């Protein structure tokens, strides 16, 4: 099975398509050993709208694909055009801006769909966005990892509230604590944190590389994530660690969390016990162990290979 990823170069979109492609190739290798299973990335950044509409990939040196994956609105036209030209399947890892009937499968987070929606052959619901994080059972869980975001469309940044929660976590956690920031984190947060919680080791986002978060998730006994960083919540859950939510104040008006589809996804995780809010943790000083590991990439790959037999004829 040969897979093409149509890429707009954005990290979040690539995390989804790479995660799914990796799971597909892993399962294809088990179902059809001895055959060639590979994935190639096709970067279409810089192409005009017109070029994407008629994209045929004439310059590509790769073998003909069986499946094209894409994520990001800017990738849809090129992916569909190339799939039509090469006569292969085309699947999108998001709620598309084009009609879903144009794709062989739309892999959508459940918070973008009506409550109770199940797979219908054209749409497959996932718990959040797919990512490439996997559990690392052979690595000792020696630390608590904290992932800090910042102001967002749905949440205000309240430094005092965040610091108070971190102080409680730092005081009552026995394992070493490592914290990293994001590009949205206010500039003065690190100095304020160092003064309030000297036992938390801070690694600013500017000092981390692309593998820093996966490597530290692998070593995490538990993970805390600020409420605004929903994509990081799903990555933390995919690592198999218990996940706590550092709470932030909701914005008023049209972007309040109850109206936000992303915050709706987080509320679903809270409701089904997948994550634990700080206020609940404070009652027992424990994040409940669910015994479950989120593997949406693997679950989606199984569905695709079971329902699209032409991929492994």
Are 128 and 41 found together in one domain? yes
Are 150 and 276 found together in one domain? yes
**Alpha carbon separation from 219 to 107, 138, 171, 198, 201 (Å, rounded):** 30, 10, 20, 21, 15
SS3 134: coil
The residue whose two tokens read 């943790």 is 281
Q: Is residue 69 situated within a structural domain?
A: yes
Are 152 and 91 found together in one domain? no
Are 157 and 123 found together in one domain? no
The pTM (predicted TM-score) of the whole model is: 0.89
- pLDDT band of 161, cuts 50, 70, 90: very high
What average pLDDT does this structure show over 272-294? 91
Residue range 209-249, pLDDT digits in tens: 989 999 999 999 999 999 999 889 999 999 999 999 999 99
Q: Is residue 251 situated within a structural domain?
A: yes
What average pLDDT does this structure show over 271-289? 93
Residues in Cβ contact with 83 at an 8 Å cutoff, skipping those fewer than 6 apart: 68, 89, 90
What average pLDDT does this structure show over 38-50? 96
Q: Is residue 289 situated within a structural domain?
A: no
Are 127 and 15 found together in one domain? yes
Are 103 and 10 found together in one domain? yes
Q: Give the pLDDT score at 112.
A: 86
Tally of structural domains, the chain: 2
Are 59 and 156 found together in one domain? no
Helix H segments across the chain? Answer: 11-31, 49-53, 76-86, 159-172, 189-196, 212-218, 230-238, 261-271, 278-284, 296-307
Q: Give the pLDDT score at 206.
A: 95
Q: Is residue 58 situated within a structural domain?
A: yes
CATH number of the domain within which 188 lies: 3.40.50.2000
Q: Is residue 138 situated within a structural domain?
A: no
Q: Give the pLDDT score at 258.
A: 46
Taking the C-alpha atoms of residue 99 and residue 291, their distance in angstroms, rounded to an integer, is 38
Angle (CA) 160-212-137 rounded to 5° is 105
Residues in Cβ contact with 239 at an 8 Å cutoff, skipping those fewer than 6 apart: 133, 134, 135, 136, 217, 218, 220, 223, 293
Q: Is residue 290 situated within a structural domain?
A: no
Choose the weakest-confidence range: 10-19, 104-113, 264-273.
264-273
Is pLDDT at 261 greater than 90 in this prediction?
no
Are 258 and 152 found together in one domain? yes
Taking the C-alpha atoms of residue 212 and residue 205, their distance in angstroms, rounded to an integer, is 9
Is pLDDT at 49 greater than 90 in this prediction?
yes
Are 36 and 124 found together in one domain? yes
Pairing of strands 38-43, 243-246: unpaired
Contact predicate 7/41, CB 8 Å:
yes
- pLDDT band of 253, cuts 50, 70, 90: low
**Both structure tokens of 126:** 């996932």
Q: Is residue 272 situated within a structural domain?
A: yes
Are 107 and 163 found together in one domain? no
Q: Is residue 30 situated within a structural domain?
A: yes
Q: On the CB side of 204, how many CA atoms lie within 13 Å of its CA?
A: 13
The residue among 149 and 138 whose pLDDT is bigger is 149
DSSP state of 192: H
Are 127 and 178 found together in one domain? no
**Alpha carbon separation from 170 to 114, 166, 173, 288 (Å, rounded):** 39, 6, 5, 18
Is pLDDT at 190 greater than 70 in this prediction?
yes
SS3 144: strand
Is pLDDT at 259 greater than 70 in this prediction?
no
Are 208 and 265 found together in one domain? yes
Residue range 84-103, pLDDT digits in tens: 999 999 999 999 989 999 99
Choose the weakest-confidence range: 28-37, 67-76, 139-148, 253-262.
253-262
Domain range spanning residue 259?
A: 143-284
What share of the chain in percent tops pLDDT 90? 80
Choose the weakest-confidence range: 63-67, 114-118, 303-307.
114-118
State the Cα torsion 46-52-54-59 to the nearest 10°: 50
What average pLDDT does this structure show over 141-165? 94
SS3 155: strand
Q: Give the pLDDT score at 256.
A: 54
DSSP state of 185: S
Is pLDDT at 304 greater than 70 in this prediction?
yes
Q: Give the pLDDT score at 154.
A: 82
């Amino acid at each position: 099975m040969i897979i093409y990823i149509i890429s707009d170069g954005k990290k979040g979109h690539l995390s989804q398509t790479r995660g799914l492609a990796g799971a597909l190739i892993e399962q294809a290798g088990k179902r059809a050993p001895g055959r060639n299973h590979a994935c190639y990335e096709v970067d279409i950044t810089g192409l005009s709208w017109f070029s994407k509409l008629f994209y045929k990939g004439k310059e590509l040196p790769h073998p003909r694909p069986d499946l094209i994956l894409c994520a990001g609105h800017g990738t849809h036209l090129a992916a569909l055009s190339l799939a039509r030209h090469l006569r292969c399947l085309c699947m999108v890892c998001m709620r598309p801006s084009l009609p879903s009937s144009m794709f062989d499968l739309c892999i959508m987070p459940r918070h973008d769909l009506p409550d109770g929606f199940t797979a219908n052959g054209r749409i497959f619901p996932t718990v959040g966005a797919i990512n490439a994080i996997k559990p690392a059972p052979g690595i000792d869980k020696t630390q608590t990892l904290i992932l800090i975001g910042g102001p967002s469309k749905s949440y205000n940044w309240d430094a005092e509230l965040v610091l108070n929660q971190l102080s409680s976590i730092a005081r009552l956690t026995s394992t070493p604590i490592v914290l990293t920031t994001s590009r949205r984190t206010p500039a003065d947060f690190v100095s304020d944190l160092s003064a309030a919680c000297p036992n938390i080791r801070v690694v600013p986002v500017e000092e981390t590389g692309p593998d820093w978060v996966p490597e530290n998730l692998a070593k995490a006994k538990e993970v805390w994530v600020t409420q605004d960083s929903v994509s990081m919540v799903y990555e933390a859950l995919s690592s198999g660690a218990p996940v706590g939510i550092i709470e932030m104040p909701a914005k008023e008006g049209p972007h309040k969390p109850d109206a936000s589809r992303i915050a709706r996804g987080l509320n679903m995780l809270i409701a089904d016990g997948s994550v634990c809010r700080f206020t609940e943790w404070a009652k027992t000083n424990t994040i409940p162990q669910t015994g479950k590991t989120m593997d949406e990439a693997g679950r989606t790959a199984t569905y695709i290979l079971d329902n699209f037999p032409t991929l492994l004829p």
